[in-house]
Structure 1
């Protein structure tokens, strides 16, 4: 049975993240489009798969799983010996991966989400953008990336010298969330962040 991915029909957010992991792992899948603009994610048949009424969700031969990062970890570990290794097997390397993944979730992603809420979501809803708030949140994001600059000055990727899910997680929301800063917002950081961002967005499975 081909794995089913329930999500948006465009490469964005958690759906795009899971699709990229599937591509990195060379796993065929069937995309089941969910029209979130019209509230299909809140229909009873979808809520039966994800009680929070959100996407993405996978159905892997009857095994149903929701939450993008959890899905990615599941796929990376199920297909350990296939495609790109995305989670280290060595205990200490895995600990460094979990450290980097935690930083993305607790420090980077929340800040990107705040920028997106002010700039992207408000615009999509036809609401006025508070430029002062947006500028403040972009400045806070820049502060986070200043720390990344230090980290990436010592290693190639966020968890060490190998590409992992921790790097890939940054592609979930950053490209759309920082639209206000321009398409090259990340590439206009320090040289280490620029190098890292250019490398991970140049992967054949991205874009």
Structure 2
């Protein structure tokens, strides 16, 4: 049975799962969830994903939600099918990977999603963005990326010297920043620019960045 991803093609978290599946050479079927009709809040959907958020997967009857958890599951089950491991197995290497995941979750994601909410998602819904909030998120993100530039001057990737999920998790919201014309956040920092160019041009991401 092919892996089923219940989500929306343009959803950031749906594309997170899709890029990991693609990186691992795991075929998947996207089962579209209609945002316009609030299908993600329907009893049928919330019976599986009680928070009514995208996506969840159905892997031959095994259902799982939360994109980061899904990504880890896919690597653990299908990791041998890809060209890279995405989760290291050595003690110190895995610790650096976990550190990298925490960096993304605590230092990149909150400001990136906050900025994206104001500049992309609210306008899509016809809601007036809070420009002060957007500016605050942007200022925080700039400071965080200054630290990224130092970190990436010492190691090749966020989670060590091999690409991991810690890097992959940056892609959807990083692309959102590029979409609204803020690619300067990456390009103005040489080590960040080198890293972003490498991860954002991977064939797996190019295959899903415009839609899972």
Q: TM-score, normalised by structure 1?
A: 0.93
Q: Give the deviation of 1:103 after TM superposition.
A: 1.1
2:115 is the alignment partner of 1:115:
yes
Paired residue for 1:80? 79
Matching residue of 1:102: 102
The equivalent of 1:154 in structure 2 is: 154
Deviations 1:95-154 (A, max 9, x none): 110111011111110011111122112211223334343223211100000000000000
1:141 maps to 141
Alpha-carbon separation, structure 2, partners of 1:123 and 1:85: 38
**Higher RCO structure (Cα 8 Å, ≥6 apart):** 2
Which residue number corresponds to residue 62 of structure 1? Answer: 61
2:23 is aligned to: 24
Q: Name structure 1 gaps, 5 residues minimum.
A: none
Deviation at 1:172, TM superposition (A): 2.9
Where 2:5 maps in the other structure, the secondary structure is strand
Q: Deviations over 1:39-84 (max 9, x none)?
A: 0111111111111111110011111000000000000111132203
Give the CA deviation at 1:25: 0.5
Which residue in the other structure is 2:204 paired with? 205
> Counterparts of 1:186 and 1:206 in 2: how far apart (Å)?
19
Compute the RMSD of aligned alpha carbons.
1.5
Secondary structure of 2:75's aligned partner: helix
Partner of 2:210: none
2-structure distance, mates of 1:73, 1:45: 25
CA contact (8 A) 2:3 2:28 kept: yes
Q: Is the 8 A contact 1:97 1:164 kept in 2?
A: yes
CA distance in 1, matches of 2:197, 2:160: 17
Match of 1:190 in 2: 189
Determine if contact 2:12/2:172 at 8 Å carries over to the other structure.
yes
Which shifted more, 86-95 or 38-47? 38-47
How many equivalent residue pairs? 205
TM-score (norm 2): 0.91
Contact 1:100–1:166 (8 Å) recurs in 2:
yes
- 1:120/1:177 contact within 8 Å kept: no
